[in-house]
Structure 1
Amino acid sequence: MWIPPQNVSNTGPIDRMAPPVSFCRAALAVAIVTVSLSCQFAKLADADTWIDRNTETENAWRQGDQQPHLRVVSQQRRHGVGDTAPDVERIEYVCPPGASAWFWRPVPPAAVIEELQIAVEIHLAEAPVQLAVEIELPRAIDPDTGRPRRLVVRPLESQAWRQSYPAHALELKQADLPRGLQRALRMQALSTAQREMLDGRGAYVVAVGLAAAGAPVPRAFEIREVRLEGRIAPQQYLTDQDAAVPAQASIADAPPTKPLGGRLIGTRVELTAQAFRVDDRDYFARIRRWRNESPERLIALGFNTVWLEKAPTADRLAEFGSRGLRVICPTPADPAGLGDTASAVLAWILPGEVAAAELDSRLVETQRLRSLPEPLQRPILAHPVGDYAAWSRVADGLLIEGQGSRVPGPPWFAERLRKIQAETAPGTPLLAVVALDVDLAVQRQLDALLGDGVAPAWLPPSDIDADIDGALSVGVCGIAFSSTEGLDSPEAAASLATESLASANERLRLIEPWLLGRRDGGFDPARTVYQRDGAELRLRQPTHNRAPALDDSSPTDRTSGYRLSPAGIRPVTSAAIPAASATDDLLFTGDPRVVQSLARYLTPRAPAASERLLRQARLAQENTDSLDTAQRLALRRQLEAADLARARGDHFVCYETATDVLRRVQQAGDERRRLTFAKPYDARQSCPLALLPTTLNEHFRLMQLLAAAPRGLNRLHGGSFEDIDELRRFGWRNENANNNAEEAPAVEIAASSPIHGAHRLRLVGQDSYQGRSARIVSPPIPIAAGELLEITGWVQVEREQSRSAAGLLLTDSLGGPELSLLIGPTANYEPFRLIRGATDSTELTIEFEVIGVARVDIDGVMVRPVTLPTGLAASPGERRR
């Protein structure tokens, strides 16, 4: 069945799904009983693990008081050899039927926080057993004894009793203990004459108990291990008033100051191809590249991890760790000086963006990190800008930017990740870095054309969602969200970005159990399937994916399909599956308990999820220029219908209606962006104003002005490619990623079929996975501040292999990768055009690179200034930000 969250983050909704439990008899059984505890006083930075595996000789479990009916027949610790005969504490007892035999084990005081996980591993239970915890309330003092009161909290589930049969693994869980504690406090209040509820603030666990069912004949159970993970000592967060009263035990014999046996160990972090593992629990990282936002702001937006670009201080780690946030950061000069706050570190990252030239020096640094003491051992991440194969053998995982052209629309992030997967060492963990705004090069271009400081920076939510969907279709162990600006901006565009970001993180939290499971479906992003314990999740079809839609079949005849969203779960018919797959994640399962667990989890969260998406839909509708009057009125009616659904409590319908509004706004924006590549311009072109829906009006105005604007003289020498020696003298460079002359791709001057003059340039690309793409770079061209430039030319692309991706990638130093122009196979010569502006005096270079296995002919390349005012500010109210 689907299980609510047990994540180490205080915002993570899901840890894992447990399969249905069937009971059968055999020889040996292992039972793990896990309790999730939560409290607002978390101090994760100082968390550790306490574990007792019965290596001591003295018994640790003790009979509870006031049990005259209980008789302990025998109790002893048995020491085995190896895993097949572990050390156990065996208890044999006799207790009347209908009564319970209570046994308690004192543990180090542990603050009640969500990260705390208590586990008792049982190897044999001849009668049903139940786990409970004893919690001390430091603010509730008993007037008769002067000591803090204590409460025993049992599981909320009605079937919390479990019996361990031989050779069958059994897992008992006591989740959502804060709610159980509140229930216990209410029951305590009802049992008193004053009906006054005790103060539960600052509560902490002092003992773990097992209740065994009574039986007329002797029964036994064997305990192998007691574990406290994510333990925080209470004195680290209690006030002086709270700590004034010492902890006292309420079991028969008061526990000693130091609990019997056991040892403290630090936080353990591993990194696999699917996910991080923190203290043996899977952890899908939702990462924010920090831009001075407060921890509370990041938690509200659904993040569980912070990426720091500079080595942190102990205070900085404590600031994030105390609020349940993990940290990815460079290693300080003295890591030991971080002390216990290093427990908040999820991974060390090599500082900055690393290049191939730094391999040797960074290899020395990684060796130093791997030699750190065990409490400081963490996975090592790198953020490379190329040579991914080499870096995958240096670091444990790679952060991959979504670098690539956003022309004519959102980048194909999934294709980029797949290429890097093919290039890196098998099983290399990848973390996707999704941009929330345009890069600095695009920002400067927008400033040059619109006027400094008035250009929008945030990407539309549809582009961000497309990158997320692409990353999930490939399979990543975390997603990092990056932007130049912080998420605290009051602008409408920033508000829309943050609302969409919160919705995206909410969805990631919901589907997290499957993201940590097994991924099927090959490389078809339209059929990305994750399997987890018999339940199948089909991710929604990526917004910009043009592959065939999902089929309308269930995995088996015994499964049912459901539409899954943060606002609820609803059945879906086979006929409706293709349409639903465009907007919803689809769940297929034959176990009704999975659906029931999901419904219980989503019910209290649905109102906030639907309200957030409704706000996002309103902002999107109000801040787009892509809608005509009729479309805008229709969407306003839909928003009113969504608001009515929310008012009557139908949050699923509200969420679905708001989703449809967002989809229609996106479709209108995409349609206008496609118009930028239609006639009368009739050229494959890259213009910064065509990148974002909010600047399309300015783009069309600029195109009209360019049609009649005069051009200056061509400034690019050698663009007609008539003589190879002349190109060398002018400064053209033949740059190939592989210096082996025998394998180097061809760059030549050919005489056949030129479009201009007597010759043209021919580039022949080979396998780009092996770094053998043909590449040539123009000489630098001086550019004055305030100039508007038009880069034009002719290109013909012939694909050499029918099944391979092939084309010519044009990148200039002013526009950068996001404004690069990718030209696929063409029937004949076709024109291309790049529009660029300059905010400062600089130099312009143009790079021509063949992608894949292709033959590319280039001719008639020119760089000319255009006499045109660069200020294109919109009229009031015309462009909404």
Structure 2
Amino acid sequence: MPLWRLLILCAVLLAPQPTSAEPALLERYDGPTTTWNPVPNRFGVRVLQHERVRQDSQHGTGAELVRLTGPPGYSGMLLTPIGRAPILEDLSVQVRLRCDHPGVQLALRVVLPREVDQRTGLPVKAIVRGDARARGTHEWEDLTLDQTPTAVRRHARAIGSTVGHSIDWSGAYADAVVLIVPCDPRGASLWVDELAISGLIQTTANEGADPAGARKAIAQPRTVRLSQEGLFINDRPFYPRIITHYGEPLEELRKLGFNTIAFETPPTGELRRDCSKLGLQAICPPPGPDVLSDAATAVEWDVALAWLLPQRTDQHSLDSTMALADSLRQSDATLARPLIAWPVAAWSSWSRLADGLVVESPWSAPERMLSGCQGRIAEATRFGRPGAPLFAAIPLSHSDQFVQQVTSFAPAGTVDAWRSPSEVAVEAMAAATDGARGIWVTRGAPLTNAESDNRVRQGMALLNLNLTLLEPWLRDGQRAGEISAQQPGYAATVMTRGRTRLLIPQPADEQTRPSATVTYVTPGVAEAAKAYEFTPVGMRPLPLSRLAGGAHVTTNNPAAWLLITEDTRSAAEVSQRVRSVARRAGALQEAIAISELRHAEAHLSPLVMAAGSNSPDAAVLADARRKISAAKSAQSAGAIDAAFAHAAAATNQLASWSRGRVATARSSQQLDSSPLAAQASTIIDHHRLLQLIEPLVRRDNLLPGGDFEDHGNATASGWRHTAREDAGGAAVVSFSGDQPAEGTRCLRIECPAGEQTTPATTLVEIDSPEVNVNAGGLYEITGQVRVEQASGQGALVVSDNLGGEELSLVIDRPSSWRPFRLLRRATTDTQLRLRFAAVGPVTAELDAVMIRPVELPTSVKAAVLGAPALQRK
């Protein structure tokens, strides 16, 4: 035999013989972490149980159990990502499972990179199903999907016949395996024992890798995008309920209903792993570019939804942040996360630099916090990039300046650093219905286990529960405007989603006369539509009458949400969501009422003792106790609706009483801003403070140019005015000689009514020069103000840098010259500066503005400045 033939024969004999190929991906579900992700839907399909279980399975020791419930005829989908698997003849997927209902199908999610989805601008994704269906006999069985090119080609033809043109499926690849599970209202269970994928083609760099290496190679990070419709994770909409982390265990924040944690610094690996384990998302500053540019280390940050640019940035930091954003986008090729900025001005510039903006609710006097929140969102929407997504930041705690000032005056143990949870909830709901694509609760301190913090925890849990109930509209719906009720003072925001309208009541002001019923007239309602009233604890149908002007719907619960729909499935979905949270909502509302009562008894008892047991204050507390007792009785009897109503009434009564006390203290003839008048718990100390300082000596004025007699002198002294970017050329600041309060001239501010946003926004700011103040000193800021005209929500706002906007004076009613006063204490050697802001259309004048130290004799210093020795008897 020739030598060359002998060599060929040896090569053939020694070559490896064909054997059954090992799967490129093999998952046997033996670990503790679930990997099948339920796909959200709009048809009421939800997960009852999802966990890894140990049992006598076919291969290995475990399986993944998923139990779904949903309306008959609908299916739920479970998805597990597989990276990027080209559609080739050898690609085959096999899953071993058992189920208690027939009809489960195996499918692939296939990406068609040459076809663009007109709704999203992204490549088309299609669910390509296999032909086999599970028998549902509780026995283990195999489902296989092979001949994938044929299946994809067939599906592409079906899509083409629908859209009217041929579909190019070249370059198609699968990025996920899908299980389609028919639902049953009583529950349908599925156990998955093994997933095997064969025919995965790896890149040259991965050839010869072992199976473990192959599995690691196809693990891909999630895709996250941010558009005007909101956040999307793997193309599924996500509505974030965010809270800033202050060191608490993440599990505690998750129990309060938050689904996203914001970190002020890049989180550690342990925190990131905890977020993943608990199903929480993260928003944080990015890690270094060396981490993001390496795919192996970048995927360790997959839990992050977005990168937070340096916080509270202004116009002056645009250039430096722009360079940071460009560098970040270049290095973040693996995760490609959106960038979020937190500006305080220059909305247009910042909205073009970042993918989304955080809009922080501005600090203001308590009665204007809600309108300030709405005004800031309106301002960002009006002047930002069209369609720029906004996240509303709502403060849960008082500002640092507020706490510092109140603490420096108040008796020990009387200051509450937390804002009222009910007020925070009102602002959050208003921001959500105004178009915010997520709610971000900010704070200046951690939540502890103290009794005082329980009230805040319960309030946040109920807020998140309400946001969860309304999430389908906040996430997928559109704001369709506002409608007023037939009863004066009542209005609702209208949200639409498909053929469904949702009416969300707006908070009524304190002057609104209570009404037993509220009627809304909604135009354009279909003949087949029905109306429902629902709260977190129940849902019931309402009569819907069609009269002149539209459909009339009347409710005897002004705080309830109203659903108007011709889609019975939407009503069933809402009913199911309500039933799933009703018991927890009822228990939370009762706990909140009890906490509010304890808070009132602990902090407001001096008011009751001062007024006597027969006073209106004592009557309010007694009535709240009766309502809470009625709530407990109803809860024991199983009447959750009645229990919720009684507890909510007690909570609202106590909150209204507290607000009324503060409003009364702030509505004296002289315009006063005293830190002790800002909280109901220190009002009795406010009146005492005014009596103590009345006879004390005031030293010489420290503020130059506050008489406004000479423009040159005021400018040289450091007085400045700034027109905001939205003021245009309409605002005018001048010196006027028309009937000043003192001397021959005064400062005049004119912001005429024009094309204004509603609520009003700040148009002009006038800042005083800084004056030096000494630690421990008490300072009295005084002046004269005259408001000639204030339209809509127009006002002149007087504030300072020691007290901040939360202790500002809001002057919104026309009047002749009136004196104003701010009392402040310097806790360190620092500078004091005043600010006068024109908000909305207003014409006002200022005169005789002074800053004077108040002499404090040693004998009265402790009594005036809240030393620990001052305790109430």
TM-score by length of 1: 0.72
Q: More displaced, 298-307 or 594-603?
A: 594-603
The reply on whether 1:540 has 2:500 as its aligned counterpart is no
Corresponding residue number in structure 2 for 1:273: 228
CA distance in 1, matches of 2:721, 2:111: 72
CA distance in 2, matches of 1:877, 1:206: 70
Q: Matches of residues 141-156 of structure 1 in structure 2 within 5 Å?
A: 155-156=182-183
| Residue 825 (structure 1) shift | 4.5
CA distance in 2, matches of 1:351, 1:389: 17
Matching residue within 655, 663, 669 for 2:644: 655
**Secondary structure of the equivalent of 1:426?**
coil
Question: What letter matches 2:838 in structure 1?
Answer: V
CA distance in 2, matches of 1:790, 1:700: 16
Corresponding residue number in structure 2 for 1:230: none
Matching residue within 459, 483, 495 for 2:443: 483
Q: More displaced, 844-853 or 355-364?
A: 844-853
**Secondary structure of the equivalent of 2:575?**
helix
**Secondary structure of the equivalent of 2:278?**
coil
| Residue 579 (structure 1) shift | 5.9
Matching residue within 366, 391, 399 for 2:358: 399
Question: What letter matches 2:749 in structure 1?
Answer: L
Corresponding residue number in structure 2 for 1:29: none
Partner deviation per Cα, 1:202-261 (whole Å, 9 max, x = no partner): x866379xxxxxxxxxxxxxxxxx9xxxxxxxxxxxxxxxxxxxxxxxxxxxxx99999x
Q: Matches of residues 178-577 of structure 1 in structure 2 within 5 Å?
A: 180=189, 206=195, 264-333=219-288, 334-335=291-292, 336=294, 338-408=297-367, 410-412=369-371, 413-450=373-410, 455-492=415-452, 494-522=453-481, 526-542=491-507, 544=509, 551-553=519-521, 555-572=525-542
Give the structure, 1 or 2, with the largest relative contact order (CA under 8 Å, sep 6 or more).
Answer: 1
Question: What letter matches 1:608 in structure 2?
Answer: R
| Residue 381 (structure 1) shift | 0.1
CA distance in 2, matches of 1:730, 1:124: 77
CA distance in 2, matches of 1:345, 1:609: 30
Q: More displaced, 758-767 or 464-473?
A: 758-767
| Residue 82 (structure 1) shift | 6.1
Question: What letter matches 2:559 in structure 1?
Answer: T
| Residue 94 (structure 1) shift | 13
**Secondary structure of the equivalent of 1:438?**
coil
Matching residue within 623, 642, 649 for 2:599: 623
**Secondary structure of the equivalent of 1:398?**
strand
> Compared with structure 1, are the counterparts of its residues 9 and 634 closer, same or farther at alpha carbon in structure 2 (3 Å cutoff)?
farther
CA distance in 2, matches of 1:535, 1:864: 60
The reply on whether 1:791 has 2:781 as its aligned counterpart is yes
CA distance in 2, matches of 1:123, 1:638: 65
Q: Contact between 2:95 and 2:195, CA under 8 Å: does it hold in 1?
A: no
Corresponding residue number in structure 2 for 1:815: 803
The reply on whether 1:842 has 2:854 as its aligned counterpart is no
CA distance in 2, matches of 1:515, 1:578: 24
CA distance in 2, matches of 1:78, 1:824: 60
Q: More displaced, 439-448 or 264-273?
A: 264-273
Q: More displaced, 703-712 or 643-652?
A: 703-712
Q: Contact between 2:360 and 2:392, CA under 8 Å: does it hold in 1?
A: yes
The reply on whether 1:691 has 2:691 as its aligned counterpart is no
CA distance in 1, matches of 2:38, 2:686: 43
Corresponding residue number in structure 1 for 2:548: none
Matching residue within 574, 578, 582 for 1:606: 582
Matching residue within 750, 753, 771 for 2:736: 750
> Compared with structure 1, are the counterparts of its residues 520 and 88 closer, same or farther at alpha carbon in structure 2 (3 Å cutoff)?
closer
**Secondary structure of the equivalent of 1:321?**
helix
| Residue 122 (structure 1) shift | 11
Corresponding residue number in structure 2 for 1:676: 665
**Secondary structure of the equivalent of 1:368?**
helix
Matching residue within 632, 639, 646 for 2:628: 639
Gaps of 5+ in 2: 1-32, 54-63, 65-78, 99-106, 117-123, 147-153, 160-178, 201-210, 485-490, 546-551, 608-615
Corresponding residue number in structure 1 for 2:14: none
Matching residue within 79, 82, 104 for 2:143: 104
Q: Contact between 1:733 and 1:778, CA under 8 Å: does it hold in 2?
A: yes
Partner deviation per Cα, 1:42-87 (whole Å, 9 max, x = no partner): 9xxxx98226887111363679999xxxxxxxx9x99999659999
Higher helix share: 2
CA distance in 2, matches of 1:406, 1:455: 17
Q: More displaced, 51-60 or 503-512?
A: 51-60
Q: Contact between 1:328 and 1:349, CA under 8 Å: does it hold in 2?
A: yes
| Residue 279 (structure 1) shift | 0.6
Q: Contact between 1:409 and 1:691, CA under 8 Å: does it hold in 2?
A: no
CA distance in 2, matches of 1:532, 1:389: 29
Gaps of 5+ in 1: 1-7, 20-32, 67-74, 108-119, 126-151, 160-175, 185-202, 209-225, 227-255
Q: Matches of residues 860-871 of structure 1 in structure 2 within 5 Å?
A: 860-866=848-854, 867=856, 869=861, 870-871=864-865
**Secondary structure of the equivalent of 1:660?**
helix
CA distance in 2, matches of 1:258, 1:92: 31
Q: Contact between 2:360 and 2:376, CA under 8 Å: does it hold in 1?
A: no
CA distance in 1, matches of 2:762, 2:620: 49
Q: Contact between 1:462 and 1:543, CA under 8 Å: does it hold in 2?
A: no
Question: What letter matches 2:633 in structure 1?
Answer: L
Corresponding residue number in structure 1 for 2:92: 60
> Compared with structure 1, are the counterparts of its residues 63 and 418 closer, same or farther at alpha carbon in structure 2 (3 Å cutoff)?
closer
Matching residue within 722, 746, 767 for 1:777: 767
The sequence identity of aligned pairs, in percent, is 26
| Residue 874 (structure 1) shift | 10
> Compared with structure 1, are the counterparts of its residues 567 and 204 closer, same or farther at alpha carbon in structure 2 (3 Å cutoff)?
farther
| Residue 434 (structure 1) shift | 0.8
CA distance in 1, matches of 2:553, 2:780: 47
Q: More displaced, 764-773 or 692-701?
A: 764-773
CA distance in 2, matches of 1:439, 1:13: 41
Q: How many residues align?
A: 717
CA distance in 1, matches of 2:231, 2:266: 21
Question: What letter matches 2:714 in structure 1?
Answer: L
Q: Contact between 2:132 and 2:144, CA under 8 Å: does it hold in 1?
A: no
**Secondary structure of the equivalent of 2:853?**
strand
Partner deviation per Cα, 1:742-794 (whole Å, 9 max, x = no partner): 94954332211111111111223478989994433222222222222222222
Partner deviation per Cα, 1:536-564 (whole Å, 9 max, x = no partner): 22113225498999743464453333332
Question: What letter matches 1:404 in structure 2?
Answer: W
Corresponding residue number in structure 1 for 2:845: 857
**Secondary structure of the equivalent of 1:726?**
helix
**Secondary structure of the equivalent of 1:437?**
coil
Question: What letter matches 2:595 in structure 1?
Answer: L
Corresponding residue number in structure 2 for 1:233: none
> Compared with structure 1, are the counterparts of its residues 266 and 786 closer, same or farther at alpha carbon in structure 2 (3 Å cutoff)?
same
Q: More displaced, 764-773 or 435-444?
A: 764-773
Partner deviation per Cα, 1:513-557 (whole Å, 9 max, x = no partner): 111123234367932122223222211322549899974346445
Q: Contact between 1:744 and 1:772, CA under 8 Å: does it hold in 2?
A: no
